[in-house]
Structure 1
Amino acid sequence: MHSISRLISLGLLLAAVGCASGSASAPVADSTASAPSSTAVVERRDVTHVLRLHGSVEAQNAAAVVVPRIMGQGGLNTGQSPNALVVTRIVTNGTRVRVGDLLVEFDRQAQVNLALEKKAEFRDLTEQVRKKQAEQAEQRAKDETALMTAENALKLARLEVDKNELLPKIEAEKNLLLREAAEAELAQLRKTYDLKLTAARAEVRTLEVRRDRARRAWEHAEANAERLLIRAPIEGLAVLRTIWKSGRLGEPQEGEEVRTGLGLLDVVAEGAMRVRVKLNQSDLPGMTVGLPADITLDAYPKQRYSGRLDGLAPVATPGMSDKVRTLLAVFSVQNADATLTPDLSAAVDVRLGAWSKALTVPRQAISWRDGVAGVSVNGQWRAVTVTALTEREAVIEKGVAAGDRVDLPGGARS
C-alpha cells in the first residue's frame, strides 16, 4: 500500500515538471518572432563617385586593310572566284611602313591577262570600225553616183517628152514610157539609198558597242589588277590581324585564299592612343564629354594613365537583350608611352564627381513615390533631394540632417 502511494506521488511530480517545461518554451519562441528592423545613420563624409568600365586600346589614327572586291566582269571569265583571292605577298607583322609602301599583293595574273586580252580586242574592233566606215564611204559614193545618173536620165526623158507635140504618136508613146521608167528607177534608187544608209549606221553602231564594251572590260581589268596591290595610306606600324582559317586562328600568310571584305591587317600610326569601351545605358546619366578618368592595363597593372572622355555614340545598340542597350565611349590617353599598344584590354575609372562633407545614406535606403525620392525616418516617409547615386551610397542635398536614422528595407544593415 505504501509502495502504491509512492508511485502515484512520483507520477504526479513528473506531470508537474512536464507542464512547467512546456510553459517555459512558449515565451522563447515568441521573443524571437519579432526582430527589430535595421537602420542606418545619416552621416557627413567625403564622397567620390567612380564608374569602372572595360574596353580595349586602339590608335587614334589607324587604317584597316581589307580584301578588295573585284569590279565588273573581273572574275567571271578568268576561272577565278570573284569572292576569293590568293595572297601572293604580305608584309611582316610589326614592320614600319611609309606612305605608298606595298602591304599586300594578291594574285594579279588573271586580271593582267584579261586586261591584255580586252586591250587587243578593243584595238581590233577599233580597226574594224574604221574599215567598215571606209567601205561604207566607198559604197555611198557609188550609190550617190548612180543616183545622180538616174536623176540626169529622168531630166533627159522629160526633155524628150516636151518634144512629143512635134513627133509621131509612136515616138511620143516611147518617150512617155522612157520617162516613167526613169522616174521608177530614181524612186527605187532613193529608197534603196536610204535603206543602205540605215543598215550601214547599224553595222557601225554594233561594232562600236562591242568596241566600247571591250574598252570598259579592259579598264576594269586594269583597275582590278591595281586594286590587288594594296599600299600603305599612312605611315605607321603594320599589325596583322588574327583570322579564322582551316578550323583554327592564325595570321594571314602567303599562298592562302581569303574572301573579299575580310580584314587582314591595320596600319597603326605611332603616338596618340585611345580606349574604346561599351557603356551600359543605365550608366549614361552623369557621363559628359571632358570627364577625367584613370586608365590601367590588365596586362600591366602597375602602369597607370590619365584619360579624358572624348566622345559618346549618339545611338545605343541592343546587346544580348533588346531591353539592355549599350553605347560606345572613347577615352583619349594623355600620357601614352611605348607600353600602350593596340588591342590591350584596359580598365577605365571615370570620375563622375566628388563631394566634400556631403550628407550620405546607404543607396538601398532610397525609395521612390511618384517619381520623388525619399527615405523612411522612424517609420515616416520623407522626401529628399538626391544629388548623386554611387554604387553603394546616395548623396543627399536636403530633406534629412546628420544623425537621423533611416530605415533599411528587407533587414539590410548599414
Structure 2
Amino acid sequence: MKILMILLLLGVQEAAAVTHSLKYFLTGSSEVPNFPEFVAVGMVDDVQIYHYDSNTEKAEPTQDWMNKVTAEDPQYWERNTAFSLGHQQTFKASIEIAKQRFNQTGGVHTLQLMYGCEWDDETDEVTGYDQYGYDGEDFISLDLKTQTWIAPNQQALITKHKLDRSKADLARIKNYCTQICPEWLKKYVNFGSSSLTRTVLPSVSLLQRSSSSPITCHSTGFYPHRAEMFWKKDGEELHEGVHKGEILSNHDGTFQMSVDLDLSAVGSEDWDRYSCVFQLSGVNITTKLKKAGFRSNEGGSLSVIIAVVAAVVVLAAVAVIGFIIYKKRTDKKTPPENDPSTLQRLSGSTSSDESITSQTQLIQEKQNEVTSLHEDSASLNT
C-alpha cells in the first residue's frame, strides 16, 4: 500500500499527510509444532496494539497507551477476549472444512484472515479490506467497490456464491470497513499520538562486500516505517542496476532498509556522480558516493564507510489528529465494537449496544455461522 508523502523543497516547512491503518490478522493452524492453534493480532500503523492466542485465551494490550481505551469502555478487554475465543473455535472448524475442500487429511495447514481499513488524515478518504488466505495462498477476498467476493480458485467458489447472495451481510461489512473501523482507528491514533507520530532519523552507511560487489546504501534506526530510499546519478533517480530491499523491523521497534547499486561497469573516477537519498516525513538525507577513503574487503566481510549526511530541511511539525466519536441514530455514547471478525460482521453484531451478558449467545451464533459461511461438510464436494 502506498503512503502519501509531501516532500519539503527549498527549505519550506510543511506537514506531511499520512495514511493511517488499522489491521487485524487472525491465524488458525493445525499440527504446527510449538505454535498456538489460533492467534489474533491488531496493528495500528504497523505497530502491534493487541494480542490474543489460544494458549493464554486472553486479549491483552501490547502498547501502554492502549490501556486508555478502558477509560471510555471498561469492558473492552473482556469483550474482546470473548470475541477472540469465538474466533478461535470457528477457525478450528473452518480449517477442517477447508481441508475437505482441498481433499486434504492431516499435515500442517493454516487459515488466515486480514481485515481493516486505511484513513488519509488530509483528504479523509477511507478504504477497507477483508480477505482470507489458506495455506499461504489467497482463498477469497471482498471487493468493496463492486460489493462482490473474488475467488481465485475452484475450492472457494462455494463460499463466493454463498456470500455474494447475501446483500445484507455485504452492507454490514461495508459499514464496518468504512464507518466503524475508521472511527476506532482515529481513536487509537489519538491515544497513541506521542508514539505513533514521532519521527526518528536513521544512521546511513555505504557498504561493500568486495571490490566487485554492488554498493549497498543501508539505513537503520528510523521510525516510522514510511520511508523511501533510492540512488541518484547527476541528480536524477536511477532505476537500472538498482535493487531495493524490504523494510525490516529492528528489535527496538525501529526499522532498517537498504538499496543496492551495481557499479561494475562504471569507472571509479565517475563515482562522485552518484548519491543515495533517504526520505522520511519531509526530510531528505543525502549520502554522496566518494572513492576517496573507500575500502573493500575481498575476504567477504563488510566494510563500513561513515556516510557524509546532509539534512536538507528540518522536521515538519506534526499536526494534531482529531477524531470524531461515532454516533448512532439513538445518540448512545457507548463506543462501537473494536474487533469484530468477519463472522461477527456477517451476523450483524457490530452495534455498540451489544451487552456483555449476550456474549455467550453471540459466540454461539458465530460458531453456527461457520456452516452458513462455508457450507457444511456434506456439501463440500458437490
Q: TM-score, normalised by structure 2?
A: 0.16
Structure richer in strand, relative to its length: 1
Q: TM-score, normalised by structure 1?
A: 0.15
Structure richer in helix, relative to its length: 1
